Chain A
Amino acid sequence: MFGAVIAGFLISLGLLLFGKYIKSKYFFLLALYPISLFAYFSGFITKINQQLDIVYRSEWVPQYGINLDFRLDGLSLMFTLLITGIGSLIFLYTHKYLYGNKHTDKFYAYLTMFMSSMLGVVLSDNLIALIVFWELTSISSFFLIGFNTEDEKSRKNAQLALAITGIGGFFLLTGLILSGNIIGSYSIQELLQSRELLHNSPYYLPAIALIFLGAFTKSAQFPFHFWLPNAMKAPTPVSAYLHSATMVKAGIYLLARLTPAFGGHIYWNTTLLIVGAVTMLYASINTLYKTDLKGILAYSTIAVLGMLTMLLGIGTDLALKGLVVFIVAHALYKASLFLITGIIDHETHTRDVTVLSGLRKVMPLLFGAGILTLLSNIGFPYSLGFIGKEMIYESTLGISGPVLMWSIAAVTIISNIFIGYSGYQVALKPFVGPIPEKFEKIKPLSVFLLLPPVLLSVAGIFYGCFPYIADEILLKSATLSVTRHFTDLPLKVWHGMSLTLVLSILTILAGAALYIFRKQTHRQEEKMELLDAVKPEQLYNYLKTGVKRLALFYTQVMHNGYLRIYIMTIILFIICVVGYKLFTEVPIQINTSSLSTFRLYELTVFSIIIVAIMVTIFTSSRLTAIAGMTIVGYCICLMFVFYGAPDLAMTQFTIDTLTSVLFVLVLFKLPPFMKYARATIVTRDLLIAVAFGTLISIITFQALVSPAEKEVSRFYADNAYLAAKGKNVVNVILVDYRGFDTMIESIVLTIAALGVYSLLKLQIKSSDKE
């Protein structure tokens, strides 16, 4: 299992490095990877149905309880099969869809990476491992959404998706760490068994609030939904994959996974119920006002995600079973709808629902697939969508409290009518009616394009006719993972006459009526766009401009380019921090009695330093100032020699020489020396300098009084020769004991050299242009 997840990352890396050597016509062979994964995971079906979870453990950072543990149970199995199954079809479809694109290799690399991350999310049995894979899905989807790098809009929307899901991931990380700390382990299995502990913890509320933020951003719940319609800029195979079975379902998966641990609490259920219902209604209304096929699909996806969240909020056994059924049903029909849209876009170069019509004449097979998909989408009997919808209606009718029940049921029915209507728009509208002349020359479709939607739509109907097959294979054990106890809710094609059946028929009829009597127009869409100013998306825009302004402000204040200001800031900061610590926490003692008297040569060097400093300050020539500074440096070298630090003296001497040389080199570039400092500035600088000097002096005196810790230096002195065969302790420390530090410092030096080199070379180039 570990290999199955990791192999994808290796393949992805290989593709990024060597993918350009693969010929276009062989890309479909890459589909062997998801197909073999699908077969591999299918092999576990019998074991999972006997409630034998497949567990794989490996240590990662055991000190912190972070491990790469994988566990395959019913829910994970359902998701892995969806991910790899639909993934295989997407891999095949992409082969033709992006045929001839020169970045196909990269696309497959990102897609493989995304698929592996998704598998990691649904298989992880450790909270931290889960968040790692969770973030990897965000990152790889960023590359997929922004695949058309030349399109500015595409780049921007990829950023938007990454920003929203990334911020959500950050909250999620906090929430998961918090929950991990409540139970004292990051193991998901232990979390699920600690229901009481979690519910009674004072941190229950913050933990679920943070987890909600993570899941809602990922699953595009209101008010974080807006990244999803924008992500439609991605190539259609990506949209089909991300928005049917994977990316956005990750949030639903997480909530379902954690339901046994956190669920059953009034905060948990009410939040999910309300957020889900609002999302569902808001998004389904939006589908009415879109003319782009993918725009319609985007909002209907959000509406379904809202519905799934709402089911988690209802939280009864029936609702959870309905959730599992509808996840599969939706994955099948939504992937198919996206793929059909992709084919239409690929062949006609438009996705405008007001333009498309009559395509049944040129793509008859696709029309068939469209009809079958539509049946599942509107919830027609003998489709998986029908069974799912029945269960959803039944569970909304089971909510306690008549007011709440009827309002939720009404919202669900209205939303489903709109979702069904959007299905007509996408799967029926482009195919019926007269065919415009320009579409008549469309060639027969490639099997790579046609096969995936046909398979998906047939599967949706097949499992609708024989739901117990799906139930026995997958859905029963998946439900068990969420409810944690056996539920006797067999799936039936025919429930008999009941209120839910009436509601289902009502939904189908109302959707059809809406389709017949309403026309999707650009004018309505434009009217709807007037509301953009009050949409939640604006918040994001405000935030974005705000951050930009803050960055600009900060840069102007802190990075103003004046070296003197930088130095002043640093020194002031040290004065404040060190001074505060010194004066509040250390009893200051100044003991001059232990100081020895000046020896003559010390006094001489000392007076030279004073004179040199005075010259440096009061001179009116840069060269003199530099010479003065260098003299101060050399004098300090002498001090080092007097006090037995020859290594330090040598280094200081050479460094000082080189610094002076550097100064002299740039001297000619500087503007003429001017005394433009006003008296106030001079006084200010004087005050800072005196304060800093005083502080350092006090610290030095303090150091004399404090008992010196000799242990460290004794250790080095004792061991330098014995252990490291060196007599020069300083050098032994540099190259042996602290060799790591030296190596990092070498790298810092390298970066500095690269910085100087590139800064100056680039400048030369830009002046060349002029």
Chain B
Amino acid sequence: MKSTIFKVAANYLLPLLLLFSVFVLLRGHYESGGGFVGGLIASIAFVLHFFAYGLESARSFFRFSTATLIPIGLSISLFSGILPMFAGKPFMTSLWFKKPVAIIGSVGTPLFFDIGVYLIVVGVTLTILFTISENVK
């Protein structure tokens, strides 16, 4: 993919898509969206860059391997489930802050759970894609 138009477009699309993916993640509680879709959109953003600039460039966005996102995401999800247990409630009971935060809305354990899912999805998708494409060459 050597097209200059595509490369330039990819440059602008990456931050836009990432922003959009976070937007989708956060609005998931009230409107259509959520961690899973958000994660997929974020992955598409990186895949676009990968098509335009190649694997190495796409990998350079991540300090560590993309696979490290998976355990981080899993831990966040698990932690958001365990958190209520410290308050003496059953595993995965949702807890909320009293006052909603500006822009984001109400913040509670389900949000962290969704962030965990988001990271897992990005990690899994990119790990699979990058590994396969690396192997194909």
Contacts and interface: CB of A to CB of B under 8 A. Distances in A.
Nearest to B24: A650
Interface in B118-137: 120-121, 123-125, 127-129, 131-136
Interface string A737-765: 00110110011011011001100110110
Contacts of A646: 32
Interface in B6-29: 24, 28-29
Interface residues of B, number: 48
A327 B89 CA distance: 53
Given A725-B108, A735-B117, A760-B131, 4 more contacts: A662-B128, A746-B120, A753-B127, A760-B132
Interface in B69-124: 70, 73-74, 77-78, 81, 92, 94, 96, 106, 108, 110, 113-114, 116-117, 120-121, 123-124
Interface stretch (A284-292, A527-535, A566-574, A664-672): A664-672
A647 B136 contact: no
Most chain B CB neighbours (cut-off 10 Å) among A646, A750, A764:
A750
A666 B106 CA distance: 43
B40 A665 contact: no
Interface stretch (A220-228, A402-410, A509-517, A651-659): A651-659
A537 interface: no
Interface of B: 24, 28-37, 40-41, 43-44, 47, 51, 67, 70, 73-74, 77-78, 81, 92, 94, 96, 106, 108, 110, 113-114, 116-117, 120-121, 123-125, 127-129, 131-136
Chain A interface: which size bin? 35 or more
A665 B110 contact: no
B18 to A, nearest CB: 14
A746 B96 contact: no
Contact of B124 (A726, A739, A743, A750): A750
A647 B31 CA distance: 9
A455 interface: no
Contact of A740 (B29, B44, B67, B92): B92
A669 B35 CA distance: 33
B110 A760 contact: no
Nearest to B78: A743
Give the dominant DSSP class at B's interface.
helix
DSSP majority for the A interface?
helix
Contacts of A753: 67, 70, 123-124, 127-128
B116 A650 contact: no
A620 interface: no
B66 to A, nearest CB: 9
A654 B40 contact: yes
Contacts of B78: 743
A764 B94 contact: no
A734 B36 contact: yes
A659 to B, nearest CB: 11
Given A724-B110, A725-B108, A757-B127, A650 B33 contact: yes
Contact of B33 (A647, A742, A760, A763): A647
B131 to A, nearest CB: 5
A739 B92 contact: yes
A655 B40 contact: yes
A736 B110 contact: yes
Contacts of A662: 128-129, 132
A740 B93 CA distance: 11
Nearest to B126: A753
Contact of B41 (A654, A740, A760, A761): A654
A549 interface: no
Nearest to A742: B117
Q: Which of A658, A668, A669, A752 has the most CB of B within 10 A?
A: A658
A735 B70 contact: no
A730 to B, nearest CB: 7
A746 B73 contact: yes
6 contacts: A731-B34, A732-B110, A736-B110, A743-B78, A749-B120, A764-B135
Most buried by B among A669, A726, A760: A726
Interface in A374-388: none
Given A731-B34, A739-B110, A746-B77, A752 B128 contact: yes
A678 B4 CA distance: 45
Given A661-B47, A752-B124, A743 B40 contact: no
A726 B117 CA distance: 17
Contacts of B121: 749
Nearest to B100: A725
B113 A739 contact: yes
B58 to A, nearest CB: 12
Name which of A654, A669, A763 has the most chain B CB atoms within 10 A of its CB. A654
B77 to A, nearest CB: 6
A734 B113 CA distance: 10
Given A724-B94, A735-B110, A650 B37 contact: yes
A650 B40 CA distance: 10
